[in-house]
Amino acid sequence: MTKEELQTMIIKAILEIAPDVEEEEIELTANIQRSLEIDSFDFLKILTAMHEKTGVEVPEADYAKVGSVEEMANYFIDNL
């Protein structure tokens, strides 16, 4: 799985979980919660969706490492 494929999966998860968000609003390097006004529950749902798709679970201690789409994709690449 490539980083680009992971980024696409993450963006799709965001759009499914936060239907008010438009794809063009998503900046790869911006903090997902702050830039898209996503609450912590929806953020957790994104991580859960990615866990189901990749098998990689993000422990709470690592949440700070997966704040943006790019950081999240890198985290999943490193842990696949």
Range of the domain at 37: 3-79
Q: What is the domain count for the chain? A: 1
Most distant CA pair in the chain, distance: 30
The pLDDT of residue 53 = 96
Separation of alpha carbons 8 and 11, rounded Å: 5
Per-residue model confidence (pLDDT) at position 12: 98
Residue 68 pairs with which residues in a beta bridge? Answer: 31
Q: Are 32 and 38 in contact (CB under 8 A)?
A: yes
The pLDDT score that the predictor gives to residue 49 is: 97
Single pTM value for the model: 0.95
pLDDT in tens, 19-29: 999 999 999 99
Amino acid 27: pLDDT: 98
CA distances from 16 to 21, 42, 64, 78 (A): 9, 10, 22, 25
Contacts of 13 (CB under 8 A, 6+ apart): 46, 49, 50, 53
Categorize the per-residue pLDDT at 3 as very low, low, confident or very high, splitting at 50, 70 and 90.
very high
Over residues 61-80, the pLDDT tens digits come to 999 999 999 999 999 999 99
Are the C-beta atoms of residues 17 and 47 closer than 8 Å to each other? no
Here the CATH number for the domain that contains residue 54 is 1.10.1200.10
